[in-house]
Structure 1
Amino acid sequence: MSAIVYYLFLLFLLTASSPSLIVYATTDISDTEIQNVQQMKEYVISDSRLPAIQTDKYSVPAKITVITAEDIQKFGAKTVQEALQYATGIVMYNEVGNAFEHRVDMRGFNSTPVSSISVFVDGMRANEPSFNTINFDLIPFETIERIEVIPGPNAIFGKNTLGGTINIVTKTGTTKRQVSGEVARGSFDRERYNMNASGPVGDFNYYFNFTQESEAGFRDEGGGDVQRFFSKLGYRPTDNTDVNISYTYVKSHFSQAGASPIRIAENNPKANVSPGDFFDRENNVVRINLKQILPEGFTFSANGTYRNLQQASFLVSNPFALGGSFPTSTTAADTESWSGTFQLAQQSSPFGFKNEAVMGVEVTWNDFDSQAVSAFSSSFSDSSEDVLGLYVQDSVHVSSQVILSGGLRFDKSDIDFMEKTNPSLNADIDFDRVTPRAGITYLVTPTSSVYFTFSQGFRTPTVQEMFASAFTSNPNLSPVRSKNYEVGGNAKIGTWGDVAITFYQSDIKDEIFLTCILCDFSAFDGINRNLDKTRRRGVEMTISVRPVTYFDGQINYTFTEAQFRSPINFGSGTNNMRVADVGDTLPLVPKHRLSVIGNLRPVEGVTLSVMGLYVGSQFLQNDEGNTSSSLPGYFVLNGKAAYERDVPGGIFTAFLQFNNILDANNFSRGIYAADRIPGGDGSTVQFVVPEPGFAMFGGISYQFNAFPR
């Protein structure tokens, strides 16, 4: 593999430095040529914590993936996770057996049990404070303007970004007045009804959206429904002032079919061996964002958020129950959060050197109550968390071709845990750490660059990791820390293509794992522990082309190697499946992922899209020793046909998409466990989560634009 990586990087360097492929900036080019170069550049906004500075992607020492609203429409994505699934570095899988709650992580971290990425929506951190999970169904998906995927730890985004950051920006009503509606329906009784209205009114602008979506589900009792309401009111009295306030309401109910023994899943993928599982959520969010351009190149930005989330769940504990019994558990949680971020950015050119500086402070107050009742135990807790983050970042162009960047972040979390049923567990725990980031970028041309980045990251233990209701608590857990090295580059090929490639390595200290003896969830011997060393490293490459006006395509390839670098015994010592040695692969991390996307526009108004995704084999959960059969790799082929036409007063759109065209029986997730489902003999077998077979989804929409300003 190392030879392949070497030649890939050599190929990139040759491409980036070839005068026949790249538009060069020289001292004698014309003003028109300079303007053409500027138009060819693509910009990212996530190089500052809050949108303040637009930085062209060739100047940033990272491989940032930008997914626009237009891309989401071409993909036919119905959820945030589906919009992300083709990007490099992304790990996406179905753990709970419905179409709405897929898990997402990055760079070899697999969200088991805790996510190692942070998700931001219009400046608000969207991760749940109790377990750092991300409920993507609570994000107003239909209102997304752009998603920026930033891999690896980042000083300005702070803690819990070991894998990276997903930064989401929603739409505004600043362009034209319009009202639109959409009706769509498809396989498994999938239905979507969407209405929105937006536009400017003097110095004000507005954006409203309502969506209702439901599905019976591919699996038995594996469906759900969600209603979202989003409103945003903006005020722009001048070009220098932008204020908006938004309100989001989401109510969802999802059934969770979960994993089935392989003997059942292969013959009847729709089967649900633990019927009755569900999760309910109700979420209210109010956000205020301010951007004020000041003299001398300064920009002040601020974000304030209030959030209240209520959750309830019911779970049947199969397949881990003993003797064929079916114990159940119920949980209820109430989370209330206040947060604020205040940032000052400046763009200037002291001594003739372009400089971009950002500094800010982030404060958050979380209060989260939880009640859990099961056949094994009961827990009633009241927890709070105070979070402080201070960050600074600076990028300076020391010459026309060399850019030096550096950043520093201080994070402090104060967690106060109160267990009402067992006060002896009460604790007040502090975590704090300073994490740096430094990089150098060399502009080979204005639209091609190579870079090197070093960064550190950390993740704080969550309340649920430190204070486990069904297992032994461990309030002495240390934060997870990482050192990260990345080298790569970006290049534009003429006017028709782009290539980006990066090589990275993350050395992890004190990663947290659940270890136990029998691991049958009955001995109460489970405990979370820190492991000394693990490692992630890999290659991420994207090639985008548009050789002609009627076709564009993209290839994304990811190679990921996730390894234990210290030995660890997850079980009793006699079960080799649960004894990991140095060099063993972490479960649930596929080494290879490849996506191919093509969009053809044969005639005006018609777009034909095809998306193929290959995910390589992976070791199953509970096979840390890599001694048993792995989960086979799989391939999914999707397609979409869309038609758009201007009609009197507006725009008419129709689409028809096809998912899993080959009707493959795929499994995206698996775990080794004792088969005590009726008909099983208690032996350790694969439990897997089947993916849906062939499905269709189609709809029509109309956007009415006939409104005078």
Structure 2
Amino acid sequence: MKGTKRFEQSRQHLLKAGDAMIRKPLAVAVAGVLAGMTSAWAQAESKKEPVQLETIEVVASGQGSLTVPTLVEAQHEMRKIPGGANIIDSESYANGRGSTLQDALGYSPGVFVQSRFGAEEARLSIRGSGIQRFFHLRGIKILQDGSRVNLADGGADFQVIEPLAARYIEVYRGANALQYGSTTLGGAINFVTPTGYDAERFRARGEAGSFGYNRLMLSSGGVHGSLDYFASVSRYSQDGFRDWSEQENWRMFSNAGYRITPDLETRFYLTYTKTNSQLPGELTKAELKDNPKQANFFNSNIARYKRDFDLIRVANRTVMKLGEAQQLEFSAFYAHKKVWHPIYVVMEQPSHDYGLGLRYINEMPVAGWRNRFVAGFEPSWGKVMDNQFVNINGEAGPRIHKYDQDVSSYTVYGENQFYLLPELALVVGAQYTNMTLKQKDLHTGDPRQKKNYERFTPKAGLIYDLNPEIQFFTNVSTSFEPPSFSELASWQATPVLASAQRALTFEVGSRGRFGIAEWDVAFYRSHVRNELLARVDPVSRFPIGMVNADKTVHQGVELGLDMELAKMLYLRQMYTFSDFKFDGDPLFGNNQLAGIPRHFYKAELLYRHPAGYYAGPNVEWSPEKYYVDHANTLSVDTYALLGFKLGKRNKTGFSWFVEGRNLTNQKYAATVSVTDIAGVGAFGGANSALFFPGDGRSFFAGLEYRM
């Protein structure tokens, strides 16, 4: 690819959104795609260069890891997916600050990820998943080396992930994550750590910058006969751009693998996380414009919002090859987390989660035709003791509740890929999911609540390889997402047990490279039923329950386009169009669903010298206002952020970078809370505190040594 690494993005999906889609930002993006592909064609025609075939790494038996694919092997597997999916090489974000999920996933098409207050707490959404959830996570399955990180009910914390400790990241959007048993609208993200086979013998990295930011990471890996190992330790802290936004994290990731025979390998994982975070909360639009550094007064001075937890997680993954064309995989994990979480109440939540996984892969031909069959079974269990107390200036007062929460679930899935022609594959699959949630308040003696959710979700798709470099795909799929305990919790005297969210999604797209361009694009349209949305009291602003919207539509475009504009000059781009709306709702009609910008664009132009030096500007642009409430009465202003980075990246020895962000010191909302109606009264309407300010002008520098 002419000296450049593949920019590891995906591409997602538009659909016909009518005239509303024909906006200037979309026109600019589409023009960029057409121009890039046209110039690519012209350059290829003029140079008459032979097509470069895809490089496929072949690992002989007894070499490399059986339990963890290499980056090249994982990229090759991605071409077997008939929909939006991509891989992010950790080297693509190691050339700048690597602190948050936004740093790691920011250029992945279709992934909307924004830090809530410059730290690791983020809003993460794919195709409008968890659109109501501005805290923690819902609607996306997070995996560490193929094992689930989410709690058994589907919720998750971002602080358990260390982007710098990953070798690569796999992003599967929507039903394209079936191979990991994901049933949700958003799909799955898998963070893959190095093994002793591909890790540096020693790596040390330090970062420092504005707002008291500093990060230190040490790692090492190696192979000794049949045994290999990898371990990393990192510490991160910040004072924060805003008041009451200090954070400190310690994390350790490690794994050790043992090759029992040339065809059998087992690998054990140990993870430890300790995190302490102050939560500055939301501001009104006027407060943001006046002083974005301030914290929400209630958060910082009265309730003293925080989220602190310790987590320890152990896991195993074992792979057995059954000849040349069959493979059996087994996985297991256990996680214990203890949370201290002062918010409107003080929550103390010890939890235990554990699960198993069994997957079988068969690539034997069927009657001489190329074929690939995958089947799996994933049961999991979780238990949370949700202790809630009166919040007295951030300390626990009298007990209010003692919820004993239990969840059990299992998923059975299968998928078959049959090649009708050497270049055309038919993919069909399905999964069955069953989840049971139980809750009883041991303090009040209220009767136990129990809710069971189950659904069969099929999918079908096609993959067409025009040539070894260019691929087209299409699929139709279904998704299913039960509510988590957070969705079932309610301030109502008689809580309503919400129904599971489900959707039917159509998708078409392409991935490939030609001439100077590499692209990943997908268009999608999801018809959603029972979307999980929250109700908020329009005067007090307190939540009053979770409801299911009748019908909503999620449709959009997800585009990644990377180009070599000239020798050593590279342009990386990501554009996402998100058109999410109600469909004839009795209260909101055809209003836009709140919380996600309709147009979102990021680009980086870098000069890269063969000696490892690089320099160039970058931009993040939200060109159109979007709403914070489903009634469409209060909106987020547009913004454009300018940054610049320079440095030198070496495979061994010293590397360094210097980076500036938001150089024009824009005051803007990085993301927002979502409500149904912005409301009335002293705390409603324009006075609604729903905006999370983004960081102001900042500078960072880093130094790394690898051997």
- For normalisation by structure 2, the TM-score amounts to 0.85
Give the whole-Å Cα distance in 2 for the aligned partners of 1:17 and 1:270: 45
Matched, 1:405 2:431: no
Give the match for residue 546 of structure 2. 528
Partner amino acid, structure 2, of 1:285: R
1:379 alignment partner, SS class: strand
Partner residue in 2 for 1:653: 655
Sort the Cα spacing of 1:383 and 1:239 in 2 relative to 1 into closer, same or farther, 3 A. Answer: same
2:701 pairs with 1:698: yes
Please state if 1:280 is matched with 2:287.
Answer: no
Which residue is equivalent to 1:309? 337
User: What SS is found at the alignment partner of 1:398?
Assistant: strand
Farther-moved stretch of structure 1 (386-395 vs 78-87): 78-87
1:542 positional shift: 1.6
Tell me the secondary structure at the aligned position of residue 559 of structure 2.
Answer: strand
**Counterpart selection for 1:62 from 78, 83, 103:** 83
Contact 2:151 / 2:353 at 8 angstroms: preserved in 1? no
Q: Structure 1 CA distance, aligned partners of 2:422 and 2:38? A: 17
The equivalent of 1:500 in structure 2 is 520
- Which of 624, 630, 637 aligns to 2:630? It is 624
CA–CA separation in structure 2 for the residues paired with 1:659 and 1:329: 36
Write the mapping of 1:357-372 to structure 2, written as runs, cut at 5 A. 357-372=373-388
Q: Provide the rounded CA distance (Å) in 2 between the counterparts of 1:84 and 1:425.
A: 43
Task: Confirm or deny: 8 A CA contact 2:288 2:667 kept in the other structure.
Answer: no
Contact between 1:557 and 1:593, CA under 8 Å: does it hold in 2?
yes
C-alpha distance 218-18 of structure 1, shift in aligned 2 (>3 A): closer
Q: Tell me what 1:323 maps to.
A: none
- Quote the residue 1:374 is aligned against: 390
What's 2:556 paired with? 538
Pair 1:480-2:501 in alignment: yes
- Larger mean Cα displacement after TM superposition, 139-148 or 204-213: 139-148
Q: Which moved more, 1:546-555 or 1:436-445?
A: 546-555
Q: Distance in 1 between matches of 2:32 and 2:159?
A: 42
Once residues 247 and 596 of structure 1 are traced to their aligned partners in structure 2, the CA distance between those partners, rounded to angstroms, is 37
Aligned to 1:208: 231
Residue 347 (structure 1) aligned with residue 363 (structure 2): yes
Distance 1:609 1:165, change over 3 A: farther
**Equivalent residue in structure 1 for 2:612, among 597, 605, 610:** 605
SS across alignment from 1:70: helix
Structure 1 residues 406, 75: CA separation in 2 closer, same or farther (over 3 Å shift)?
Answer: farther
- Name the SS for the 1:156 alignment partner: helix
CA deviation vs aligned residue, 1:265-309 (integer Å, no higher than 9, x gap) = 212111112312211010101111112221151011111111011
1:50-89 equivalences in 2 (<5 Å):
55-89=76-110
- Matching residue within 580, 599, 605 for 1:562: 580
> Which of 262, 270, 273 is the equivalent residue of 2:285?
262
Secondary structure of 1:73's counterpart equals coil
Q: Which residue is 1:575 aligned to?
A: none
Whether the 8 Å contact between 1:550 and 1:602 is mirrored in structure 2 is yes
Aligned positions of 1:6-21 closer than 5 A: none
Question: What aligned pairs does 1:130-529 form with structure 2 within 5 A after superposition?
Answer: 130=153, 132-154=154-176, 155-175=178-198, 178-272=201-295, 273=297, 274-275=299-300, 276-315=304-343, 328-374=344-390, 378-468=400-490, 470-494=491-515, 496-515=516-535, 518-521=538-541, 526-529=544-547
Q: 2:598 aligns with which of 591, 599, 621?
A: 591
The alignment status of 1:550 with 2:573, answered yes or no, reads no
Write the distance in 2 (CA, Å) between the matches of 1:585 and 1:9: 26
User: What SS does the corresponding residue of 1:348 show, helix, strand or coil?
Assistant: coil
> What runs of 5+ residues in structure 2 fail to find an aligned partner?
1-16, 59-66, 392-397
Measure how far apart 1:57 and its partner are.
4.2
* C-alpha displacement of 1:255: 0.6
For the 8 Å contact 2:570–2:608, the answer to whether it is kept is no
1:625–1:382 CA distance, 2 compared to 1 (3 A) = same
- 1:83 Cα shift? 1.1
Residue identity in the other structure for 2:603: V
* Counterpart Cα distance in 1 of 2:39 and 2:78: 18
Structure 1 residue 394 displacement after superposition: 0.9
Aligned to 2:129: 109
Equivalent residue letter for 1:691: G
Alignment CA distance shift 1:77-1:2 (3 Å): farther
C-alpha RMSD of the superposition? 3.2
The alignment covers a number of residue pairs equal to 653
Q: Secondary structure at the match of 1:82?
A: helix
Q: Tell me the CA shift for residue 549 of structure 1.
A: 6.0
Counterpart CA distance in 1 for 2:578 and 2:599 is 7
Q: In structure 2, what is the Cα distance between the partners aligned to 1:330 and 1:303?
A: 35
Matched letter for residue 91 of structure 2: E
Amino acid at match of 1:258: G
CA, structure 1 residues 13+93, in 2 after alignment: closer, same or farther (shift >3 Å)?
closer
Change (3 A) 1:177 1:456: closer
Q: Give the 3 Å change call, closer, same or farther, for CA 159–21 of structure 1 in structure 2.
A: same
Q: Alignment partner of 2:109: what SS?
A: coil
In structure 1, runs of 5+ residues without a counterpart are 24-31, 43-48, 316-327, 570-579
Within 1, Cα distance between the matches of 2:489 and 2:287?
Answer: 35
Any idea what SS the aligned residue of 2:217 has? strand
Code of the residue aligned with 1:464 in structure 2: it is S
2:627 and 2:635 in contact (8 A); partners too: yes
97-106 or 476-485, which deviates more: 97-106
| 1:343 partner letter | R
Call closer, same or farther: CA 1:236–1:536 in 2, change over 3 Å: same
Q: Does the 8 A contact of 1:617 with 1:630 survive in 2? A: no
Q: Which amino acid aligns with 1:655?
A: F
For 2:606, give the aligned amino acid. Answer: N
Change (3 A) 1:33 1:200: farther
Contact 1:159 1:411 (8 Å CA) reproduced: no
**Equivalent-residue separation in structure 2 for 1:339 and 1:13 (angstroms):** 49
636, 643, 646: which one pairs with 1:641?
A: 646
CA deviations on 1:46-98 (whole Å, 9 max, x unpaired) are: xxx99698545444311212211111213533122321122221222344x34
Name the amino acid aligned to 2:641.
V
Q: Distance in 1 between matches of 2:596 and 2:539?
A: 21
User: Contact conserved, 2:199 with 2:230, CA < 8 A, in 1?
Assistant: no
Is the 8 Å Cα contact of residues 96 and 657 (structure 2) preserved in structure 1?
no
- State how far apart, in whole Å, the 2-side matches of 1:656 and 1:684 are: 39
Q: Quick one: percent identity of the two aligned structures?
A: 21
CA apart distance, 1:166: 1.2
Query: How far did residue 449 of structure 1 move?
Result: 2.3
Pick closer, same or farther for the CA change 1:473–1:149 going to 2, 3 Å. farther
Per-residue deviation, 1:18: 9.9
> Cα 1:638–1:240, aligned 2, differ >3 Å: closer, same or farther?
farther
Provide the rounded CA distance (Å) in 2 between the counterparts of 1:486 and 1:594. 21
- Please give the alpha-carbon distance, in whole angstroms, between the structure 2 residues aligned to 1:14 and 1:445: 19
2:110 is matched by which residue type in structure 1? G
